[in-house]
Structure 1
Amino acid sequence: MGTLIRWERALERWQDALLAKAFRSEQVELLDALRHECDSHAVVCSQSRVVVPNAYEVELDPDVYRELRRRGGRVGQALTDVLVRHGDANRYEWAGPLTVRVVPSAGLPNGRYRVTSSVMHHVRVDAFA
């Protein structure tokens, strides 16, 4: 059991390092925005069931997006993992398979990123490849 916990912690450190490289000082702000998007669209169905959106899109400045692609970063997967941990901690139920898609977008309101979510019931994992 101890080996599994050490492996999970090492994986979390690796993901944090990847996000830090990708977003530098904006990492915490972006992660908070992703969690907030999840929390603000939670639907309480019963005392023991809270459903949240399962499809998230993170729009990045085109230059930042190109840099991530150049480095071969798997930021979408790292952000998905962050949301999984957040959902587990809050006992959320996803509306379907969870995906986080990272895309370039010009004209962002804060010039850096925008996070949106939606419910997609029949999402295939390879649909965002």
Structure 2
Amino acid sequence: MARGRLTRWERSLERWQSALLSKARRREPVELLDALRRECDAHAVVCSESRVVVPNAYEVELDTKVHETLMRHGGADVGQALTDDLARHGERKGYEWAGPLAVRVTPTRRPSGDPYRVSSGPMAHVRADAFPAAD
């Protein structure tokens, strides 16, 4: 398999997830992967011509009912699949992560009427000066 290509399992997971979220809200399919990529791109910090740093900790908050349904149907691997996709996105863009990359999928803590919410930031226990500067 070539790097950067989605596996058949990942494509199936994306289709299943989009269909599930779409059914939950009866709207057009939610582009969760695109929302994660936009979050990453929006928080990119250009440190030099050859160094662009992006957050390494992402949280996807799903509507509580959608999250429960997803977990009942084997959704425990969704966070890893989203992390893998975001890692490929960062590699394509030449990004440097602020630390080890992780995407966590949780039920929403704030009822907003939206089927999902994406947020990001550097992992709290990772210090920026712990990473060597890119030459």
Q: TM-score, normalised by structure 1?
A: 0.80
Report runs of 4+ in structure 1 exceeding 6 Å deviation.
none
Q: Is the Cα contact below 8 Å between 1:59 and 1:102 reproduced in 2?
A: yes
Judging by fraction of residues, say which structure has more helix.
1
1:17 aligns with 2:12: yes
Residues of 2 paired with 1:96 and 1:106: CA distance?
25
- Note the C-alpha offset of 1:72: 1.6
Matching residue within 34, 37, 40 for 1:38: 40
Residues of 1 paired with 2:91 and 2:124: CA distance?
20
1:63-105 C-alpha deviation (Å, 9 max, x unpaired) = 1111111112211011001100100000000000000000001
Q: Summarize the Cα distance change of 1:117–1:8 in structure 2 as closer, same or farther, 3 Å threshold.
A: closer
Q: Is the Cα contact below 8 Å between 1:96 and 1:121 reproduced in 2?
A: no
User: Aligned partner of 1:99: which letter?
Assistant: A
Q: TM-score, normalised by structure 2?
A: 0.77
Residues of 2 paired with 1:8 and 1:90: CA distance?
12
Residues of 1 paired with 2:66 and 2:36: CA distance?
18
User: % of aligned pairs identical?
Assistant: 60
Q: Which runs of 5+ in 1 are unaligned?
A: 124-129
Residues of 2 paired with 1:108 and 1:15: CA distance?
29
Q: Is the Cα contact below 8 Å between 1:38 and 1:52 reproduced in 2?
A: yes
- Note the C-alpha offset of 1:121: 5.5
1:105 aligns with 2:108: yes
SS at match of 2:99: coil
Matching residue within 111, 114, 119 for 1:116: 119
Aligned length: 117
